[in-house]
Amino acid sequence: MSGIKRPIFTVQKHRASHVHYDFRLEIGGVLKSWAIPKGPSLDPSVKRLAVKVEDHDLDYANFEGVIEEGHYGSGPVLVWDTGWFEPLDANHDMESLAGMVHAGKVEVCLHGQCLRGGFTLVRMKDRPRQWLLIKQRDAEACPGREVVEEHDDSVLSGRTIKDLETAVEAGTLETYRCG
């Protein structure tokens, strides 16, 4: 990995019709994306449904603000976690990540604030859009721990979904972009 720009991952908490967590990995110049209704877990015995959604542009990774009513996904979005990642298997390079997505199994090591260590994304049989996100058993695993309940604010700004809604109602919201 040395000398190579580290790819980013981001998890955006998004309250559209329902609260969910958009998990995104920088692969092939875009953000490969999965919507996780219950959010990621640090408990290796927990399998979280992750629905594959459309790729997003890289510059969306640090978007925080409110998507206007009438637009797809309208509602507040905050950056729940972000950092960099690498393929878990040192024999894999960044180029092989796109192949892993295509093959339906992606194993990465995340270097974030809330999420760290190995995670597996695996596509369910005969369900092209339905994947599972599972924490691997390693030093960063925490059985019984629900990290989405411990952290509900933005790692970039400290704002909560409620803060964003309040700011919109008060007319004081500026969309936040970083980097």
Site stretch for Mn ion (CB under 5 A), options 8-16, 100-108, 137-145, 146-154: 8-16
| H-only helix segments in the chain | 95-103, 147-150, 161-170
C-alpha torsion sign, points 154, 22, 163, 67? positive
Tokens 């092939």 found at: 28
**Pattern of binders to Mn ion over 17-46, x per CB under 5 A?**
-----x------------------------
Q: How far is the CB of 54 from Mn ion (least distance, A)?
A: 10
Measured CA distances, 97 to 74, 116, 178 (Å): 31, 18, 25
Q: Does 15 bind Mn ion (CB under 5 A)?
A: no
Q: Does 13 bind Mn ion (CB under 5 A)?
A: no
Residue (22 or 64) nearer to Mn ion, CB: 22
CB 88 within 8 A of CB 100: no
Coil/strand/helix, residue 100:
helix
Residue (20 or 123) nearer to Mn ion, CB: 20
Q: Does 159 bind Mn ion (CB under 5 A)?
A: no
Q: Does 64 bind Mn ion (CB under 5 A)?
A: no
Q: How far is the CB of 22 from Mn ion (least distance, A)?
A: 4
Q: How far is the CB of 103 from Mn ion (least distance, A)?
A: 25
Please, what's the largest Cα pairwise distance for the chain?
52
